[in-house]
A and B are shown apart, each in its own frame.
Chain A
Amino acid sequence: MKTFKIRQDWRGLLASIPKQIILLFFSILAIYPLYYTVVIAFKTRPDWLHNQFGLPNPFTLQNIIGALREGNIPLWFGNSVLVTAGSLVVSTVVSALAAYAIARFRFPGRAFYYNMMIALMVIPPAVLILPLFVLMVNIGLINTLPSVIIIYCGLLIPFSVYLLVSFFRSLPPELFDAAAIDGCNNLDMFWRISLPLSTPAMVTLIVVNALFVWNELLIALVFLQDQNHKTLMPGLELFRGHYTLNEPLIMAGNLIATIPMILLYLFGQRLFVEGLTAGAVK
């Protein structure tokens, strides 16, 4: 009996080898570009020319220091933080209010409004940029951070409303009945029941939306053309243009721009998984 069990374990282990090999292969593929970026960011330029793929020899912080000093990277980093924070605060509050109305009230046009939000999720941003550019020029917001904050908010609303409606609907109705008896009005219920109980959904939503705003290129490129008002993604395009021949410096810039999202991922992997699979998996 005992030998049988051992033999089975051993067999199971043997059977899992092909699976391990396939998974290992794809994991190496997935991690390699990041490994390459990190390694080059800490290489000297002669080292990069002779030893492209290996570990840094000698190890240097010169590129990181250079990227922080020579370009506007710290400024762009700050702009990215402001734009991301601004877009998230406004879009989350606005979407939560709308989602609350859809989830809690019965009113004419409710189904239409909800379906419209779902449909809007598929509109390509490239379609919207020209009219929005003309608009931002006319109201004097072009090359300012509020211009992209407003646009990102608009783009984030459909998905945010969709996600929050499904969450608000799952809250037990008894809570609201009890609150009504205690004399709460609807706005009180929003602040005291819906929002506090939705913290997990809110955090998930904020993490997924932060990823979108931080990494977005097209809108930032079109609306922030002035050097001093760029965010990181269009800023790095400019930076790459300036230092075409200094690859380690470019990689250092890329690495600096990536670190916040990697940290967010390391601490909140679960949140990404939940946010991205929400709605699709039931």
Chain B
Amino acid sequence: MAIAVGIDLGTTNSVAAVATPTGVEFALGPRGERVHPSVVSFPDGGGILVGVDARPHRVTDPRNTVFSAKRLIGQNIRNPLVQLALTNLPFRVDEGANQAPIIAVSRDRRITVPEVSAQVLGHLKRCTERQMGDRVTQAVITVPANFTDAQRQATKEAGRLAGLEVLRLINEPTAAALAYGFGQKLDEIVCVFDFGGGTFDVSLLRVKGEIFEVLASDGDFFLGGDDIDRTLAEVLAAEVNRQHAIDPRPIPAAMTRLAMAAEEIKFHLSEHPIAEGDIDLDLSDGVPRTLSFRITRPQFEHLIGGYVDRTTDLCRNVIATSGVDPRQISEILCVGGSTRIPLVRKRIADVFGKPPSMRINPDEVVAQGAAIQAGSLSGKLVAGTGMGARHAVVTTAVSPLYSGAGGVAHDPNVPLPRPLLLDVTPATLSIATAGGYTERLIEKNAPIPIERTKVFTTARDLQTTVVIDCCRGESRRYSENEPLGQLVLGDLSPRLRGEVKIEVTFRVDTDGILHVRARDAVTGVAQEALLSVLGAPVESAA
């Protein structure tokens, strides 16, 4: 029987897991690693390297080695934040079709971002197949809670390119809460603080039995460990300039070396008060150089204070939005590698009045939750007895509830209890109205799947075509929001302004993807569209 896998597709690292009768099992890589670097290398000699094998190529072959692809997936390359993320990237990124970024690597290969992510997913798929001895056809993939429509569509596209049927995209904080609370018969409010390599999310959930209801969620998809590394690398670069009078910033190999060194220094400072040592550098002038450094934890904390402040501000926002008393929160779950930084943990304790939970593994918990959801949606998981690696997750093969296993006869017409994730939309969705304003159809933090219809009219007499501009964001002014795309409804009966009734229906499905439908209530002409979002993958190119 084919397997459904749960995948945490991360910015720096990815993890795959499967819910088996004996618990959640992680897919191991070629060197026995559970955590797979999200790095794909396209060497000059041809072929493609992924994961732990590709990682060293970041230094030896920086122009052809793609990392942190998640920061670019489903993005519009003209977005200023994307442009900022592109500075200092050693590989070349051009503008492709539909304003989507496209990566140029060796042998004139031009790779779209979903194709890069598909390589990572394909690698995880092969690892899982090798380990489980069975085909993997379905997957649940996790995305940051505040991912936009285009980013979600592009991630789904990546799954499809990797030959996986994407059962569901679930939000990373929700997956973490699922792994924490599944089968525990809890009734409490938990906060998930997800500070990963590229994104930050915070979600408040009410866990009640098998129901996981997100009360409020917020985040920033350009805030993560990568930013911390880059800040530290800039400091190291300035130090190189001072010691050797050579600016390393235009040299991709040197900058990659410094960024990776910065990452190591960050890891070291999470455990020790001082990091000191030497970095061997090739400044492409033929002379081997060394950079000596000494960085103390207070210096480092001063450097990253701004980023950490941003996370705690968002935490306070979420608590204020949900109206929950901070003392009612019984557990703070830390997800993502950046939560290992002592300053982050200290600030969390300041906001919530209690230290974060140490009971979960910040790297693996999201994949665990995805695996449980994959088992549930593929129908192979019927009853849970507990969380994660230590406790068994009962599947049909051994469940006493399932008649096939010789247990209690079960009526196939009645579905069995399974975890239910009630997630929310990350942003307000509106359409443009006359005068440059917006009319909100679905508010931020509204539960999904949701469907709302509002009636609109024409702005001019005898108008026969209307353009419905959809946008995402909290502002009342259309121009201050992020445009999502448009829908054109033609063949309206020519009538006086205000007499035509146009029903616009927004539906956000369980993957968090928006579907828009417009209908002329008089003639019944309907137009339905998945928005052609700028930056999203183009269907024909796939």
A binds B: no
